[in-house]
């Protein structure tokens, strides 16, 4: 007779799972300690690989990335033993977030992991060192992203713009095979973690079902699409007036190379002919910054005895740094005016504010938290004195101040409530850069209060904010297709331009076959940065802005709100930032805005005057794409 508790005769007793050697809470404490210890070396290696592009820094960055991903894989595997075990709510959330700790899930196979990190670093550096060269030998002239972008921004010569746009897109052609291999490897890593593919993993990071998240982004886009369609129709009409038949592609799409931006994500550089009422409101911020840089240079030259060309070049570099630092301090002043702390002294010593003349760097703007206590935070840019760069600085400091706010959270919670939150912080501040605010920092003259001035200001903002929204969606729609197999490698470029036509109403002026790899000409593709966060941020920033305007006691139309210097708004903002990712984003959202739902109604409220004006302008026109 079987003894009490033994298995019936002929059956094998199921093995009894051993209790974990340490509690779940102790495991997460160890994870946080390890992450904190590893972070400085990893961020330093990554910083060097982007600010000193060469083979040595590539090897260092790849090695540290390999080490960090291997450690993450080990932690993810160890976390499985705590399924069904008692633990605190905070620990349960930390374990759930572990698998989402990277956008680059690595295969367990050490050789494949090593190859993945080599590919990632190589793609990143290939983008950073990308140049378009013409001529040969001593006659060869090479232009990098800054010079090519300036041509698109300032030239109105159709062929010069076309050459600059096509030239930049040559830099990504060699990336194609590496990217295909890279995508396959992170897909393998995601599947080993239990996800369908890498895109499914990315969509799992929003405290909701991945399929529900995709539907949510479609819903939000549906809210703002009528406004975008109206803006698209107006811009297409103005392009046709300026360029004739060359102002459109097939009579309905915007030509990719004529939009003032390499990726057509911001149309603000076309202000000279898209401005509804020329000169009304005096909002030429770029001219103010360029004039200020010229004065700084002139002041330096006036003090020189030696005006040899080499010395003038040195003073020009110094003036470039002076204006870049001045622009950064303007942005810092907005944050400190809300009651937030000053940036650490090391920020201006260690940041890259201008492009070095002696080496290749990644100029794509980014913010960096170098260590867990955020005592070393940095910004990497190649700042030029114009409006687009100024608003980018305000945006990047939003990341920096998020780092400073959540520095006391455990490392695993040192992130945005979701990634869209992180991108929305600085842009919420940009919305408060009203004419009155710009006058207060001496970038524009007296604000003109009139209906025409209002439309000008709204158009200026819409060319940056509304124009961006479909671009913010389509990049990950392309990558999700790559990851789930619905976009095959032999159709990479075809699918890219189909999505750009579908979402942005943009097309190339000449065929772009599969001998090109145009997705790679946008940093976030070779840099493997998920992009839907930027679309979400363009919804969230208006929600945050409205909540902070309410907190500041603002009365009147939403677009007139400037909460600069308001400590009540600042305290409410800072309290949200301090939470990091320690709780579901819905709870963090509710604490600031009163609702747990992302909603684009504040976008429509903000741009109400412009939408009415566009309706009138577009009457009788054939709109749509």
CA dist 428 and 290 (Å) reads 25
Q: Are 374 and 353 in contact (CB under 8 A)?
A: no
Ranges assigned E (strand) in 74-165: 132-134, 141-143
Show Cβ contacts of residue 372 under 8 Å, excluding neighbours closer than 6 positions: 35, 36, 39, 407, 411, 414
Number of C-alpha atoms within 13 angstroms, CB side, residue 569?
A: 25
Instruction: Count the neighbouring beta carbons within 10 Å of the beta carbon of residue 74.
Output: 12
pLDDT of residue 82: 94
Tokens of 474: 């389509």
Tokens of 235: 């811009």
Residues in the chain, total: 625
Instruction: Count the neighbouring beta carbons within 10 Å of the beta carbon of residue 320.
Output: 21
How many Å separate Cα 75 from the centre of its chain? 28
175: DSSP letter: G
Q: Is 383 left (phi over 0), alpha (psi -120 to 50) or beta?
A: beta
Mean pLDDT, each 10-residue run in order, the chain (625 residues): 39 50 94 97 96 95 94 94 92 94 94 96 94 93 95 96 98 97 97 96 96 96 98 98 97 97 96 93 85 92 81 89 96 98 97 93 95 98 93 97 98 97 96 92 84 94 96 98 98 98 97 97 96 97 98 96 97 98 97 97 98 97 94
Tokens of 232: 């698209």
Q: Are 46 and 64 in contact (CB under 8 A)?
A: yes
pLDDT of residue 21: 81
CA dist 508 and 147 (Å) reads 21
DSSP track, 308-366: -HHHHHHHHHHHHHHHHHHHHHHHHHHHHHTTPPPPPTHHHHHSB-S--SSS----S-E
Domain boundaries, the chain: 24-130+171-204, 214-617
Place of tokens 């076959």: 513
Q: Is the pTM of this model over 0.85?
A: yes
Tokens of 553: 């006691």
List Cβ<8 Å contacts ≥24 apart for 391-395: 391/430, 391/433, 391/464, 392/365, 393/327, 393/328, 393/330, 393/331, 393/365, 394/331, 394/334, 394/426, 394/427, 394/429, 394/430, 394/433, 395/365, 395/423, 395/426, 395/427, 395/430
CA dist 498 and 509 (Å) reads 14
pLDDT of residue 574: 98
Place of tokens 């790899």: 517
pLDDT of residue 46: 96
- Phi, psi torsion values for 378, nearest 5 degrees: -145, 165
Q: Classify 214-617 by CATH class.
A: mainly alpha
pLDDT of residue 388: 87
């Amino acid at each position: 007779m079987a003894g009490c508790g033994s298995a019936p005769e002929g059956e094998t007793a199921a093995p009894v799972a051993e209790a974990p050697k340490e509690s779940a809470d102790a495991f997460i404490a160890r994870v946080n300690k390890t992450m904190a210890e590893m972070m400085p070396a990893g961020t330093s290696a990554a910083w060097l690989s982007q600010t000193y592009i060469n083979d040595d820094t590539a090897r260092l960055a790849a090695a540290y990335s390999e080490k960090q991903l291997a450690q993450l894989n080990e932690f993810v595997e160890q976390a499985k033993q705590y399924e069904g075990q008692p633990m605190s709510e905070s620990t349960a959330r930390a374990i759930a977030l572990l698998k989402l700790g990277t956008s680059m899930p690595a295969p367990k196979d050490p050789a494949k992991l090593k190859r993945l990190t080599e590919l990632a670093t190589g793609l990143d550096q290939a983008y950073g060192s990308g140049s378009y060269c013409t001529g040969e030998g001593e006659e060869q002239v090479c232009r990098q992203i800054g010079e090519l972008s300036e041509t698109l921004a300032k030239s109105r010569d159709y062929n010069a713009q076309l050459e600059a746009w096509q030239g930049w897109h040559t830099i990504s052609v060699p990336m194609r095979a590496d990217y295909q291999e890279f995508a396959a490897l992170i897909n393998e890593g995601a599947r080993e973690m239990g996800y369908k593919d890498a895109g499914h993993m990315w969509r799992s990071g929003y405290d909701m079902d991945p399929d529900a998240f995709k539907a949510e982004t479609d819903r939000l886009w549906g809210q703002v699409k009528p406004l975008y369609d109206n803006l698209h129709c107006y811009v297409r009409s103005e392009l046709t007036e300026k360029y004739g038949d060359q102002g459109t592609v097939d009579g309905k799409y915007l030509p990719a190379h004529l939009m003032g931006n390499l990726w057509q994500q911001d149309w603000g550089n076309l202000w000279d002919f898209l401005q509804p009422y020329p000169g009304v409101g005096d909002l030429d911020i770029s001219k103010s910054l360029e004039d200020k840089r010229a004065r700084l240079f002139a002041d330096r030259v006036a003090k020189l005895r030696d005006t040899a060309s080499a010395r003038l070049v040195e003073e020009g570099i110094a003036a470039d740094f002076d204006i870049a630092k001045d622009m950064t301090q303007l942005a810092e002043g907005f944050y400190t005016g809300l009651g937030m702390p000053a940036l650490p002294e090391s920020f201006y010593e260690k940041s890259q504010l201008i492009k070095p003349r002696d080496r290749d760097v990644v100029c794509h703007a980014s913010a960096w938290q170098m260590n867990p206590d955020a005592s070393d935070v940095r910004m990497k840019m190649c700042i030029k004195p114009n409006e687009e760069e100024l608003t980018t600085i305000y945006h990047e400091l939003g990341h920096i101040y998020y780092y400073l706010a959540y520095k006391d959270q455990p490392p695993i919670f040192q992130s945005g409530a979701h990634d869209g939150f992180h991108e929305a912080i600085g842009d919420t501040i940009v919305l408060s850069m009203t004419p009155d605010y710009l006058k207060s920092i001496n970038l524009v003259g007296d604000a003109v209060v009139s209906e025409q001035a209002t439309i000008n200001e709204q158009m200026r903002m819409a060319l940056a904010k509304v124009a961006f929204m479909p671009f913010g969606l389509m990049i990950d729609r392309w990558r999700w297709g790559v990851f789930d197999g619905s976009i095959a490698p032999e159709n990479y470029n075809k699918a890219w331009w189909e999505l750009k036509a579908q979402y942005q109403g943009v097309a190339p002026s000449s065929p772009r076959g599969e001998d090109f790899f145009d997705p790679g000409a946008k940093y976030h593709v070779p840099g493997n940065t998920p992009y839907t966060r930027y679309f979400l941020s363009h919804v969230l920033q208006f929600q945050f802005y409205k909540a902070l305007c309410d907190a500041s006691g603002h009365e009147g139309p939403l677009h007139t709100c400037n909460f600069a210097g308001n400590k009540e708004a600042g305290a409410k903002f800072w309290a949200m930032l301090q939470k990091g990712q320690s709780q579901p984003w819905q709870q963090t959202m509710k604490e600031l805005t009163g609702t747990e739902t992302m909603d684009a109604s504040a976008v429509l409220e903000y741009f109400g005057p412009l939408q009415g004006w566009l309706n009138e302008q577009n009457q009788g026109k054939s709109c749509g794409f």
